[in-house]
Structure 1
């Protein structure tokens, strides 16, 4: 029974030290890590995603390197992969420790949220996309208001992609509004304790900047160059590909590398703020300030919070 499976989640902003603390916890709890990072699922995107090298992992890590950079992947697919890993770890007597900063992936794995069919492109989606072209944003939003008024109230007409998704869900028999209510309820499928790590802003931003500098020293530019040569330009310039999209112009157009690095740091700081906003909204998170703590001390205090 999943409801009896004990899971620990370690969440927080990028650069705060989640992996170090998760590994320390895993060492003391016969645990294994299930990574919840929407970029670490891609093979070959290693340095820019701060993926821990295999030789440095002190416990097994799951849900890393699942697909190539050009392959589609979604929260629905992650839900299946993550739960398989969690269930397998628990079945072997271990403690699953879900660790990451992609809030949607964490909730997909840990909360009672069913994804409707149609994660990939479907004829229905193509039909609604054609209607959106024909009717425009307001017209296609009016169609949604007829089939799922609550969803129409939740989604702005200019968010055409989400309007189309809601229409597609309605056509498949699942209302977007029902899913939204379920998502807001925060009902777990496991016996989960969520440990949130935070740090004072100057300290967090200093860690972020130092990590970006390390990435560059470790060969991030060469990693981006290799991925471009392999034909993965679209994956590298996606909005979520912080650390990659900023370096593409350096390689292709001779843009200034120092300006690109500064842009990576700025984008990462902004991403950290968004992550904190997401996790702060979850009342289940038990927060620990790790500003002045070593990973070992943070794990010790985190364990006390988890057990309290």
Structure 2
């Protein structure tokens, strides 16, 4: 086990990116994004990527693939560890930042993923099924074959539903594999900090962020993705904010209804993120109701340096 790695995690809109950026700037290091959607080019507004002009430290593993390319926790593990090792070799403390709990664990812990082709025949078959019959029918297929796994996956997380079906074809249950992740075996000397705040304040920040996304051009961003061929089984369809705007553009709802759905689903996602991170007793929680960005950076630095 080598030098320390710091991870800044927590629910959406809690302020992770600003804290991680300030921390990496202070240490002369870089931030490694651990966000399952920020890896995609062209998905900027809806994924709340920190604008280039606001970054004070390098931000790694954003904009690395196209929205119609396959990506996974296994690929993130490979890419994140490569960045961590390079930063540590340069004498720097890597700063992971994100709310995708599986990606954080994949980078930091001894997590083994099933073998299989990224774009095999089974995956293409399930993607065609989703395009022809819709995400709900795909989810019902998983629910009939493996209800325990289905209960642990959001119905509109098409890529994860497809992966669970692929794993069943390989003789592996997604739910059973997940149980094996419950006792982490660290690969790095990790310090994990989760940001939190009073629930109503967090929900207010989520709602305000969604309103700002729409003002900043979320609808136009989704239109550009559709022009590039983003279909029902592709990543843009799964991300909160994109699916709802696609439905609006297709006439399935009004813009106001789409915005309210984005807010509601973002709040639910924040609850799931908090539940995920609360399972990990390695995490140090930082209350952002009583800390500003500098105060959070100071608290992290004290813990890591001691």
TM-score range, shorter chain: 0.7 to 0.9
Calculate the TM-score normalised by the size of structure 1: 0.82
The answer to whether the Cα contact below 8 Å between 1:103 and 1:275 also exists between their aligned partners in 2 is yes
Match of 2:43 in 1: 45
Q: Is the 1:197–1:287 Cα contact (8 Å) retained in structure 2? A: yes
Cross-structure match for 1:20: 18
Matched ranges for 1:97-136 at <5 A: 97-122=95-120
Among 267, 270, 285, the alignment partner of 1:269 is 267
TM-score with structure 2 length normalisation?
0.83
> Structure 1 regions of 5+ residues with no counterpart?
129-135, 142-151
**Structure-2 separation of matches of 1:67 and 1:200:** 35
1:197-254 C-alpha deviation (Å, 9 max, x unpaired): 0000011011111111111111111111111111113336633x10111111222227
Residues 179 and 217 (structure 1), Cα distance of their counterparts in 2 relative to 1, 3 Å cut = same
Taking the aligned partners of 2:266 and 2:221, their CA distance within structure 1 comes to 18
1:13-70 per-position Cα deviation (integer Å, ceiling 9, x unaligned)? 0000001111111122222100000000110000000011222211011111111001
The two structures, once aligned, show a CA RMSD in angstroms of: 3.1
Mapping of residues 111-260 of structure 1, within 5 Å: 111-122=109-120, 155=149, 162=164, 164-168=166-170, 179-180=177-178, 182-234=180-232, 235=234, 238-239=237-238, 241-253=239-251, 255-260=253-258
Q: Is the 8 A contact 2:152 2:175 kept in 1?
A: no
Structure 2 unaligned blocks of 5 or more: 127-140, 154-160
CA distance in 2 between counterparts of 1:111 and 1:120 reads: 22
- After superposition, the Cα gap between the structure-2 partners of 1:8 and 1:137, relative to the gap in structure 1 and judged at 3 Å, is closer
- Larger radius of gyration between Structure 1 and Structure 2: 1
CA contact (8 A) 1:14 1:272 kept: yes
Give the number of equivalent residue pairs. Answer: 285
Contact 2:10 2:274 in 1 (8 A): yes
